Every structure is written in C-alpha cells, then in structure tokens.
C-alpha cells in the first residue's frame, strides 16, 4: 500500500472521528450534565491523536493532545464545563478539520493560537480541589450486570467458592501494562474464574488501561493465596482483595431501578460504561470499499443482466426446454446480485445531515437568532452518487432558511411567535423516491414582495407581474439572478442560490416544490430518485431507432389524430380535454433519417406526455415498446460535447445501444 493510500484512509477515518466529535459536542452543548459525552469525545480525540501521531501529523496530534487534557480535567470534574470551553472545543475541531483537509501541508499549520486558547480556558476555569478517589468500599467501584451476577451465582453453587473483588495496582513505571495485566489474569484463571474486569478485556488488549485494574473473581482458594500468587508478577505495586457479597449487590439492584450506578461517579464506573459502549461499536463489522469499485461492480452487474436477457432470448429461439430451470435460477441469482450491489451503494442520508446541526448552530450565533434545528429520517438510504450531489443544495436551502426565513428573537416576540424559531429537516421514502423536506416557521415568502422585486429587477412589467398567480410569484425565487433579500449578507442573498439548487436537483432527475404562507413559514420539498445508475424507462421507437424516455419525466401517453393538431405561432399544439398541449415531433428533433409517413397512422398518432419545468409537452413517437429498467452509461467523449438532449445511453437486451432522452435539454 502506498503512502497516499494510507493518507486517504487516514483522512476518511479522521473525518469520521471529527464528525463524531462535532456531534457529541453539540449534544454536550445542549446538556452539559451528561459527562458520558465527554467520555465519547475523549475516546474519539484519543484515537485521532494516535492515528495522527502514527502518520507523523504532529500538529494534529498536538491539538488533540491538548483537547484531551482539557476533557480529562472536565471528566475528573476539575473544571466545570461552560460555553467558553465548548466554543474553544468547536474551534479546535475546525482547526483539525482544516488540518485534515490540507493534510499535505499539515506541518505548516499554525496551531499556536488554538493551543493558547485551550490553555487559557483550562487554566482560567475554576479548578476544583481534586478529590482523591477514596475507594473504601471496592464493591462500589465495580458495576456488575445482571448476567454477570448470574454467572457468579452459578459458579458459587457449583463449588464451595466465594466471590472476590481484586484490585491490582501496577507500578507507575510499568511499561508493558497489557502484558503485566495479562499475567495477573492468567494467574487468576489458574485459581478460579474471572467474571469481569474493569477496564474490559478488550481495553486491556488494546493497552487502554490505567494503573488500576479491578477484577471480579470467583475462586475456592482463600484471599491470602490469591494475593500471594498475584504479587509474584513483577511491577505490581499493590494488590487489594475484598470479598463480594452477591446478596448485597442484588439488594442494591432492587432498590435502584438502574443497574447499580454509584452515587458518586468514580472513574472506574465511567470506564466501565466506556467498555460497554465499545462493545456495541465493535459488533458492527464493515470494510471500506472505494466507490469506484462499487461502480465497477455495478457495471459488471449491468452486463450480467444484459447477457442474461440475451440468454433468455436465445433459449426461446432455440425452443429448448432443458435450459428453463437453469435460466430460472440464473434469473434469481442475477436479480439478487443486482439488489445486493445496489444496496451496497446505498448510504444513510445521515452522512449529509450530520454536519448540518453544527452549521445551523454557527449560523444562528452569527445571525443572533435562536433556532431549534431537528433532523428526522437520518436512516433513510440514498445512492452514493445522489448523496454526493445533494449536500451543496441543502446547504443553500438551510442558509436561506436561517438568513431570510427565521426572524430575530425580538422580531418573533413582536409577532407573537415563540422566541426560538424551528427548522426541521426531514427525509422520508416515497416509493422509488426520497423526499427531503425543509420546514421553517419564519416569515415565509410574500408573493407581493416577490412581484415588486421582479419588477425592480426588470424581469416583468407591472401588468405582467400582477398577472402572476401567488404560486408563480413565489416560484420566482428559482429564477436565475433573483434574490428577494434586500441586503446581501455573508450567508446568502446573492441570487445564485435557488436556481442552482433547482438545476442540481433536476440534473439528478428530481424535482423541487415550494410551499409558503406569509408569517407562518416555508416548506421546500426535494424529490430525489433513489439511484441514478439504474432508472425505469419507457422504450419508444422513432423510425427504426429506439430511445429510452425516463419514467420520471412521463406523465401519461395519449393517442391523437393528425387532424386535431393546430398551429399556434408556428408551434404545434393539440387541444386535449381543454388542455392545450404543445407537441414536439421526435422525428424532427432527432432528425431521424427514415421517412416518418411509413411508420404512422395519421389517425392514431402516439404521444408521450412528459413534464418539463412544471409544463406538459407531448412527444410524438412511432411505437411504444414497453417499460424497462435500464442502466445509464455516460456518453463522455469530447467528440460528443456539442450533443444535447441525452443523459446517456444504455444497452438493450439485444445488445444494441439506445440513447436515453434528457427531456429538459431536448425540448
């Protein structure tokens, strides 16, 4: 593996840890009494430090080290957590993110400022007297879960044994803590059964231990023998052994509904919780695979599907019954593979959503607004390619909502609204689409104001503007160069946002909808396809040629008569049950060389009605071949750069290539 590959892996992993840090810090900001969050952060920072140091990224290691020190003081309750500390920690995360992003120049990163800030907060914060942990009753410092207790009970019943809590303190100078602890545990194993260790076995294996180890141990031997055996292991400074009374523990269990958490959170019980958390994390097994690999796999599955349908065709032509069974199982298998590969490409939308709480927090502080931001449906899955593309549009929308949507607290109070504005981002699954909804309870979009701005910008005359329906007026924000904001701020208002959002979403084969009530808020809905690699399409013939029309674009199909076609301003239209439908003859648009009269019955013209920017357009085709799932392959060749109207090509069952029409650019 080359250095750059290590570097990519580092970046990917480091970003995950950063994300976790950000997320946990936000939670901590909401509820700073939950010290478990500090523990999670501590672990993440610790891992990051280790990774960075291994890779030689010393600046990152240094920053994380200082963060660790600060968090350590917090979790030992030497420092009280406050907003200054949280802000400094956020700054650290930004610094780290910057460092990881520009990892090549990491060594040039200036971290003196951030280190200074860290030192300031850790020294200025009021330090508590460090209360030495007084472990008088050892049984308090170990937390036995129900199954552990059961295990003890069964062990005690079998033999004439008793339960002990053994506390082993390693020498300060002990270098190989894992090895020493291992020796101690081996000694104990010889004499009886180790039920539980704090820190956990996994932590011990990974060297994640302090000098003190607590062990719950069942043995038939007496205390002195145990102490003697353990003391033989070198570099042990102290061994303490106390009998454990199961009945007491059980009684304590009953009085407290929660598994016995000692009233004063001692460091051991905390590390116990850590180990429980880590157990949970480790149960998920996964490997990192580059998207390129999945793309290749997807392509190959595509080819497999094509070959399968060819084989099916051949079997029909050859009329051999013998193949039927094999083909049926091949059918099933290929379908399963397709589903699996598609699934492997699916990523939880959380990957995009999880960076927003931080962003909204920063924006609202900057804007001096109070916003409660909630995300929902984070577990909804989307194809990786779609997911990669929706981040920026969502950022635009969120910024708009914070900037223009939600009012300042004073303004809200004056309007009889709650001081804190609410902003909800919700993802949900809608058949083959994913719906992303962004809802705010801000000032909404005022159609009257929109018309005024449109006139001011010279987009419309007064009379024209007044002709616009409220809905049309609101949709003006999707026009290029349109911005309703009176002043341009750092955040938004340059008028490049909304049309870019719309274009991007439409490029992905999705759509944008807007709903807004003045003074009540705005809802923006993005409808996105689950995947862009495979789409449902309608295959049509134009002359001898076959084209695929994405089902997403299709409204319905119609049969019309040549005589019903009218001409308005040189455009062909047909009046269908009161709706004037513009018509486009694909023969002409695609300059198909065949003589169209040979393919048509003028009394039965086939029209596929498609939607383009909310408007219906009828495409005249010669034959409908049926619906089919097609795999999109791009047509990226510089010779074709002037070709418009196709989103790609696909390979049909007979091995031929069919172009996929891109309705927005075609007509």
Region from 176-184, 231-239, 350-358, 643-651 binding other proteins, contact rule CB under 8 A: 643-651
Q: Candidates 28-36, 107-115, 207-215, 295-303 — which segment interacts with other proteins by CB under 8 A?
A: 295-303
113: contact with other proteins by CB under 8 A = no
Return all residues near 98 (Cβ < 8 A) that are at least 6 apart.
109
Q: Which of 39, 165, 400, 553 is catalytic?
A: 400
Among 202, 210, 303, 629, contact with other proteins (rule: CB under 8 A): 303
Residue 357 near residue 375, CB atoms below 8 Å: yes
Contact flag: residue 4 with other proteins (CB under 8 A): no
- Residue 617: is it exposed, middle or buried by C-beta count within 10 angstroms (0-12/13-18/19+)? buried
Measured CA to CA in angstroms, residue 624 lies from 306, 312, 606 at distances of 21, 22, 8
**Closest separation in Å from C-beta 63 to other proteins:** 41
Q: Which of residues 116-175 bind other proteins (CB under 8 A)?
A: none
Write out the binding residues for other proteins, residues 474-513 only, by CB under 8 A.
none
DSSP symbols for 574-612: EEETTEEEEEEEHHHHTT-SS-GGGG--TTSEEEEEEEE
Residues between 357 and 386 that touch other proteins (CB under 8 A)? none
Q: Quick check: 657 binds other proteins (CB under 8 A)?
A: yes
Q: Which of 23, 46, 65, 587 is catalytic?
A: 46
Looking only at residues 535 through 564 of this chain, which bind other proteins when binding is defined by CB under 8 A?
545
Is residue 341 involved in binding other proteins (CB under 8 A)?
A: no
Using CB under 8 A, which of 583, 659, 660, 663 touches other proteins? Answer: 659
CA 598 to chain CA centroid, Å, is 54
d(CA 526, CA 434): 8
Does 655 engage in binding with other proteins (CB under 8 A)?
Answer: yes
Residue closer to other proteins, measured from CB, 151 or 596: 596
By CB under 8 A, residue 89 contacts other proteins: no
The answer to whether 292 contacts other proteins (rule: CB under 8 A) is no
Give 559's contacts (C-beta < 8 A, 6+ positions apart): 604, 605, 606, 607
- Residue 619: its H or E element: strand 615-621
Give catalytic status of residue 46 as yes or no: yes
Does the footprint of other proteins cover residue 653 (CB under 8 A)? no
Looking up tokens 């303004």 gives 411
If binding means CB under 8 A, how many residues of this protein chain bind other proteins? Answer: 30
Binding other proteins by CB under 8 A: which of 401, 646, 647, 662? 646
Q: Does residue 220 belong to the site contacting other proteins (CB under 8 A)?
A: no
Nearer to other proteins among residue 302 and residue 510 (C-beta)? 302
On the CB side of 356, how many CA atoms lie within 13 Å of its CA?
29
Considering only residues 593 to 612 of the shown chain, the ones binding other proteins according to CB under 8 A are: 593
Distance CA 60, CA 110 (A): 11
* Nearest-angstrom CA–CA distance, 565 and 425: 46
Reported as type and span, the H/E element at residue 339 is helix 323-345
- For the question of residue 400 being annotated catalytic, the response is yes
User: What is the closest distance, in whole angstroms, from the C-beta atom of residue 300 to other proteins in the complex?
Assistant: 8
Bin 117: left if φ > 0, else alpha if -120 < ψ < 50, else beta. Answer: alpha
Catalytic entry in 27, 68, 187, 411: 68
Tokens of 590: 């695609």
Which region among 132-140, 469-477, 496-504, 648-656 touches other proteins (by CB under 8 A)? 648-656
Quickly list DSSP for 233-264: STTEEEEEEEE--HHHHHHHHHHSSSS---SS
Output the CA torsion sign for 573, 577, 579, 584. Answer: negative
Locate 256 and state its tokens: 């407290």
Region near other proteins per CB under 8 A, out of 194-202, 212-220, 349-357, 631-639: 631-639
Choices 145-153, 280-288, 300-308, 328-336 (CB under 8 A): range interacting with other proteins: 300-308
Residues between 397 and 456 with contacts to other proteins, criterion CB under 8 A = none
Judged by the rule CB under 8 A, the positions of this chain that interact with other proteins are 299-300, 302-303, 306, 545, 589-593, 633, 635, 637-646, 649, 651, 655-659
Q: Which residues are catalytic?
A: 46, 68, 400
């Amino acid at each position: 593996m080359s250095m750059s590959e290590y570097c990519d892996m580092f970046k990917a992993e480091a970003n995950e840890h950063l994300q976790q840090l950000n997320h946990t810090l936000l939670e901590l900001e909401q509820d700073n009494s939950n010290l478990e969050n500090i523990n999670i952060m501590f672990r993440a920072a610790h891992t990051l430090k280790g990774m960075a140091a291994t890779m030689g990224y010393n600046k990152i290691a240094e920053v994380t080290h200082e963060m660790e020190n600060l968090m350590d003081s917090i979790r030992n309750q030497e420092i009280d957590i406050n907003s200054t500390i949280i802000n400094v920690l956020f700054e650290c995360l930004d610094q780290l993110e910057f460092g990881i992003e520009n990892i090549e120049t990491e060594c040039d990163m200036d971290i003196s400022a951030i280190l200074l800030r860290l030192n300031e907060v850790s020294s200025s914060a009021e330090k508590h007297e460090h209360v030495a942990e007084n472990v008088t009753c050892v049984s308090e410092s170990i937390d036995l879960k129900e199954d552990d207790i059961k295990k003890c009970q069964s062990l005690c019943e079998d033999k004439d044994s008793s339960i002990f809590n053994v506390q082993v303190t390693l020498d300060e100078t002990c270098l190989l803590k894992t090895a020493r602890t291992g020796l101690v545990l081996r000694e104990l194993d010889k004499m009886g059964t180790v039920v539980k260790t704090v820190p956990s076995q996994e932590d011990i294996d990974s060297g994640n231990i302090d000098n003190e180890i607590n062990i719950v141990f069942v043995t038939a031997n007496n205390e002195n023998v145990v102490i003697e055996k353990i003391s033989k292991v070198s570099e042990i400074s102290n061994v303490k052994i106390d009998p454990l009374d199961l009945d007491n523990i059980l009684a304590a269990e009953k009085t407290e509904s929660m598994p016995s958490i000692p009233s004063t959170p001692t460091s051991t019980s905390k590390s116990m919780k850590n180990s429980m958390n880590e157990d949970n994390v480790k149960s998920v097994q996964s490997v990192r695979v580059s998207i390129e690999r999945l793309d290749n796999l997807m392509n190959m599955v595509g080819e497999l599907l094509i070959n399968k349908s060819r084989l099916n065709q051949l079997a029909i032509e050859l009329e051999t019954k013998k193949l039927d069974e094999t083909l049926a199982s091949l059918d099933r298998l290929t379908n399963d593979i397709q589903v699996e590969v598609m699934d492997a490409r699916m990523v939880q939308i959380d990957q995009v959503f999880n960076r927003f709480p931080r962003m909204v927090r920063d924006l609202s502080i900057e804007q001096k607004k109070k916003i409660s931001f909630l995300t929902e449906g984070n577990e909804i899955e989307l194809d990786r390619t779609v997911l990669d593309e929706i981040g920026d549009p969502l950022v635009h929308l969120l910024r708009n909502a914070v900037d223009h949507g939600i009012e300042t607290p004073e303004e809200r109070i004056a309007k009889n609204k709650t001081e804190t504005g609410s902003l909800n981002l919700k993802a949900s699954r809608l058949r083959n689409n994913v719906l992303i909804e962004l809802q705010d309870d801000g000032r909404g979009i005022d159609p009257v104001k929109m018309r005024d701005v449109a006139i001011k910008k010279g987009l419309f005359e007064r009379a024209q503007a007044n002709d616009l329906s409220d809905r049309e007026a609101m949709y003006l924000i999707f026009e290029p160069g349109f911005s309703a904001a009176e002043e341009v701020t750092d955040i938004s208002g340059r008028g490049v946002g909304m049309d870019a959002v719309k274009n991007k979403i439409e490029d992905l084969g999705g759509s944008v909808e807007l709903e807004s009530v003045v003074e009540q808020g705005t809802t923006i809905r993005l409808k996105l396809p689950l995947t862009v690699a495979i789409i449902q399409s309608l295959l049509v013939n134009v002359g001898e040629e076959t084209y695929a029309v994405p089902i997403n674009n299709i409204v319905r199909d119609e049969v019309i008569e040549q005589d019903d076609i009218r001409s308005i301003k040189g455009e062909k239209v047909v009046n269908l049950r009161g709706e004037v439908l513009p018509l486009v003859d694909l023969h002409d648009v695609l300059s198909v060389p065949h003589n169209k009269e040979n393919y048509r019955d003028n009394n039965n013209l086939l029209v596929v009605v498609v939607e383009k920017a909310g408007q219906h357009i009828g495409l005249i085709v010669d034959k409908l071949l049926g619906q089919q799932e097609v795999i999109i392959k791009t047509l990226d060749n510089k010779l074709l750069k002037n070709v418009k109207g196709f989103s790609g090509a696909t390979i049909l069952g007979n091995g031929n290539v069919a172009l996929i029409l891109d309705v927005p650019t075609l007509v």
